[in-house]
């Protein structure tokens, strides 16, 4: 698991306090203690991730964005989960949110979707993950 470590290229959601990435870096999640919110279609929040050294003779088996989210007003509004690699964003299909917190997962990438080959150390180090209000 590579939790957020700093702001990514886009921070359009509203933080409850502090920086956006600091509101989503806890393991386990803190629910309503700190959070980011948004109600504008098209807004994106991206986060740089912590680094991880790929051991020699190992490969990354899968990469995906994961979040704990909920709808504030009425169940059913969608969000998308994704990542940014090699300057390109990749977003999951819209996923309907419930009014209670749930685990949501974006698309799984067994290889880098931009290159079509195994993830490299540089790509993993530069990886950004995030959420989009479609």
Using CA atoms, how far apart are residues 36 and 131, in angstroms rounded to an integer? 10
CA quadruple 56, 61, 62, 67: dihedral sign: negative
pTM: 0.93
Question: For residue range 46-89, what is the model confidence (pLDDT) as tens digits?
Answer: 999 999 899 999 989 999 999 999 998 887 899 999 999 999 99
Question: For residue range 81-118, what is the model confidence (pLDDT) as tens digits?
Answer: 999 999 999 999 999 999 999 999 999 999 999 999 99
């Amino acid at each position: 698991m590579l939790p957020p470590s700093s702001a990514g290229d886009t921070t359009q959601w509203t933080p409850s306090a502090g920086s956006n990435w600091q509101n989503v870096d806890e393991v386990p999640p803190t629910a309503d203690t700190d959070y980011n919110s948004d109600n504008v279609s098209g807004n994106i929040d991206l986060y740089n991730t912590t680094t991880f050294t790929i051991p020699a003779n190992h490969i990354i088996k899968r990469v995906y964005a994961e979040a704990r989210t909920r709808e504030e007003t009425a169940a059913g509004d969608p969000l998308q989960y994704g990542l940014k690699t090699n300057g390109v964003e990749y977003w999951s299909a819209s996923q309907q949110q419930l009014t209670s917190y749930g685990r949501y997962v974006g698309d799984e990438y067994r290889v880098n979707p931009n290159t079509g080959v195994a993830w490299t150390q540089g790509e993993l180090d530069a990886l950004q993950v995030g959420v989009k209000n479609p």
